[in-house]
Structure 1
């Protein structure tokens, strides 16, 4: 039963300096538009083009949808606060934001691992790819992604709902994330910290390790390619994927593996921006726009819109 006295929270945002609000508004509006429109274009291109109805692109479609949900959960509210100087969010609104953000966080991590596995099968077992990554396997993998993401989100949001918030109600962050909420609780957060640690080890560290193992096998297979051009192309793809994955996992592991007493929110806000804003913006560029089949699919969408 929730006994919180607090009915709304005050979100401080990225900075307390009013002279920077205008610049930050323009920067984050641009980031949101690039992330939203880029991922939306991927969704439309994959749905519209039947040639892209393969496991690789279905997983890319899922990643694009997750990125749209992640950025839309956080940035519009942040932009609204910058524009109106109304930094309050209701208790229910805060819990909703927390739920959808935590869901997208879990889904993205498991999707990265699933996509790495798909590439591992494609490169290491090309003759058996269509047999292994068939329709049923694709549905099963996406079901696992959804089940893990929803479970992760329900557990953490449920544990936050059990806490008592009796004041202060100022969140030193730019959205409702778990660490700053734990710092505001006037009841014990031990269970929350234990579950955060468990989730960080199993989801973040576990998925990152599995992703790296998949790419390790991929790189070993690439080294057996005889042509220098083939090696260069494959390495280019793998390296860009690994950079984005590392950009995502490193700050997530750093943020969630520590106890509430050790949080330094001014620094943590910058760290959080990497996995909430930067990665969803980079994903379309790294995973899709550099791909020739995806480029052809996007051109067909624009060609259809012209007519």
Structure 2
């Protein structure tokens, strides 16, 4: 895969009251075409600052960013706009434009002084809307769109701009679960089908794990760990994302979970089905029970409606917890 973007010894940060705050220090990374990469980190870790630095809208404190081998520092604004598209978290103020007009703005770096679209530009706009599944809304005003449709329109604009690199800051913010999945699947297809290098920041860990080819983990202290998604999951590095003992990363579910205090009442859980075992354990731990092989009360889960607590039959997890209260 072709390396489209290189980050060479970059430190990123901002200045407040003449004091430099470094959020990413002396980092070397790269993005390759055909890959979707997710940038994960805690709130305030510096994800947006890093993305703005990579996009060229904010100067690095040190180091350089290269796109297709050329430094951003040597590019004009028009040259940069042909290479990198940055989609920020700011809601678009283009509510008075139609979707087609908004997507057409992506052609500005390629048009003449007056910015008029010719037949070739209009064809590219149509193809971009078709690629993201928003063609049927072409004549709708942006203000009339749902949050998910508006995000698709912004992605279509990025596609119409025909940049090899697309950067997105929290593209699934404000979206419901189905819309988040649609947007991430769309970005994955664009990376794979069109050979683009796509980097997005996200708080949706489980969705990022399922659809990202690689992860950039922005750890406390400004260190970024880069790796294949599955390698980083199994290495235990995701547990380093948060400086908190109240959450832990569950490798089996791909989710961050609350660390519950150890229960004083012990239960021996017998269950052969992994999904049933997971949810039975979830209910027991949340309710203050320690789960192990040598528990004082045996709980046997055959199905969600066939549960035995010390020989007492139950037809639900709620019934299981009620029976345990009686037993203890």
Q: TM-score, normalised by structure 1?
A: 0.25
Higher strand proportion (structure 1 or 2): 2
Identify, as 1 or 2, the structure richer in helix: 1
**Higher alpha-carbon Rg:** 2
Greater relative contact order, per chain length (Cα 8 Å cut-off, separation 6+): 1
